[in-house]
């Protein structure tokens, strides 16, 4: 639950298309000025939720409240919101300035005032003033993204919706725009509601993240909460690289892995836990010299390694399972593939989840 005063409340929101239920009874509160991201695989229902929030679809059941007022039947053009689409939907025959000014023009704002506001937004979004008269088709992909965002801000909406706007952009530019979007959110203080299938985007930009699966909101929390305390195997796998071991409770606080033929000390267990999955993030798994150097340990063989900039990931094969160990580059192992290695972790660096 957000500690900010709510701007949007979803109460038991459901959406059906014929016999198919795309969204199942979602409850969610989004705070004023929050950057809230909904993530999930294709078909999880995240875009359907966004379209209902924007007024492009009507809920089959439940209520959407805007600052306490029911808006289920309020059309999109009468809501204080604006959508930035994946396709951007810019006018190809118009200039950068004309695209940005469009919402002001339909509100009959005077030409000089429109130009002044467009130039202010261009400066805010790091678009050169000389681009004002440039045809938008002559702009790069990143520049068109900025034009689309400037046009959305020209509406002066309370809430901006983003439907995977960075999905078609190359990696380097996407990382730049992620940071810029977060900066713009901070500068404007507006509520951003963002849809993506990319964990990285969600983790970099969001105040909170909602994870969807098969039309249901399965977990909501800060990026740190979602990453360090996933509530299911699905969430733990969806939010980054992870080591997962199927286990069952055999007594007190001892876990048995039948696949590995090993036992581990259990971390705090969910109520009623009998069997499930032990989760250890790669950065919490260590290469150790002796079994006594960690509370839990496994012996395996170094299978492969991957350089990831400042980090190195090692794959260690234990039986049929491959574990991922992550270290800083300056802590590189210097071992040959197929070398015997001992991996370990402390109980406090692991969690137990169900399916």
**CATH number of the domain encompassing residue 285:** 2.40.50.140
Q: What was the pLDDT predicted at 3? A: 64
Query: What are the Cα distances from residue 36, in Å, to 43, 76, 145?
Result: 19, 20, 20
The count of other CB atoms within 10 Å of the CB of residue 203 is: 18
List the domain range (segments joined by +) for residue 222: 6-228
Task: Please list the residues that pair with 35 across neighbouring strands.
Answer: 192
Q: What was the pLDDT predicted at 44? A: 95
- 271-280 pLDDT per residue, tens: 889 999 999 9
Position 236 in a domain: no
292 in the same domain as 172: no
DSSP string over 234-278: HHHHHSS--EEEEEEEEETTEEEETTTTEEEE--SPPTT-SEEEE
Query: Residue 156: which region, alpha, beta or left (left: phi > 0; alpha: psi -120 to 50)?
Result: left
Q: What was the pLDDT predicted at 1? A: 47
- Measured CA to CA, the distance from residue 35 to residue 44 in angstroms comes to 20
In this structure, what CATH number is given to the domain that contains residue 82?
3.40.50.300
CB of 325 within 8 A of CB of 314?
A: yes
Tokens, residue 126: 């790091």
214 in the same domain as 245: no
- 211-253 pLDDT per residue, tens: 999 999 999 999 999 998 999 999 998 877 899 999 999 988 8
pTM of the predicted model, to two decimals?
0.88
- 66-107 pLDDT per residue, tens: 999 999 999 998 999 988 887 778 999 999 999 999 999 988
160 in the same domain as 47: yes
Low-confidence ranges of the chain (pLDDT < 50): 1
């Amino acid at each position: 639950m957000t500690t900010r005063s709510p701007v949007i409340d979803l109460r038991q929101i459901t959406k059906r298309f014929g016999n198919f239920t795309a969204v199942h009874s979602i409850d969610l509160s989004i705070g004023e000025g929050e950057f809230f991201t909904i993530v999930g695989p294709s078909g999880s229902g995240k875009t359907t939720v966004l379209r209902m929030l924007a007024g492009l679809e009507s809920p089959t059941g439940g209520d959407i409240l805007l600052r306490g007022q029911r808006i289920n039947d309020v059309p999109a053009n009468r809501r204080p919101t604006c959508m930035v689409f994946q396709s951007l939907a810019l006018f190809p025959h118009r200039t950068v300035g004309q695209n940005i000014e469009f919402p002001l023009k339909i509100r009959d704002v005077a030409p000089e005032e429109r130009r002044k506001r467009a130039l202010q937004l261009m400066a805010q979004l790091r678009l050169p003033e000389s681009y004002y008269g440039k045809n938008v088709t002559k702009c790069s992909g990143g520049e068109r993204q900025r034009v689309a965002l400037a046009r959305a801000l020209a509406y002066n909406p309370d809430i901006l919706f983003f439907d995977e706007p960075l999905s078609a952009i190359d990696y380097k530019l996407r990382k730049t725009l992620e940071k810029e979007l977060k900066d713009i959110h901070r500068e404007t203080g507006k509520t951003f509601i963002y849809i993506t299938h990319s964990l990285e985007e969600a983790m970099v930009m969001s105040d909170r993240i909602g994870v969807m699966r098969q039309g249901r909101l399965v977990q909501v929390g800060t990026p740190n909460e979602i990453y360090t305390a996933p509530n299911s195997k699905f969430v733990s796998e969806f939010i980054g690289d992870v080591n997962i071991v199927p286990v069952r409770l055999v007594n007190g606080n001892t876990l048995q892995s039948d696949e590995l033929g090993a036992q581990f000390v259990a971390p705090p267990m969910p109520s009623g836990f009998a069997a499930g999955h032990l989760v250890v993030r790669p950065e919490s798994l260590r290469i150790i010299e002796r079994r006594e150097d960690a509370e839990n340990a496994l012996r395996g063989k170094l299978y492969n390694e991957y350089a990831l900039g400042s980090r190195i990931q090692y794959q260690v094969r234990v039986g049929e399972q491959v574990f991922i160990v992550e270290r800083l580059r300056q802590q590189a192992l210097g071992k040959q593939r197929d070398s015997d290695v001992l991996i370990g972790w402390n109980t406090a660096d692991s969690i137990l989840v169900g399916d």
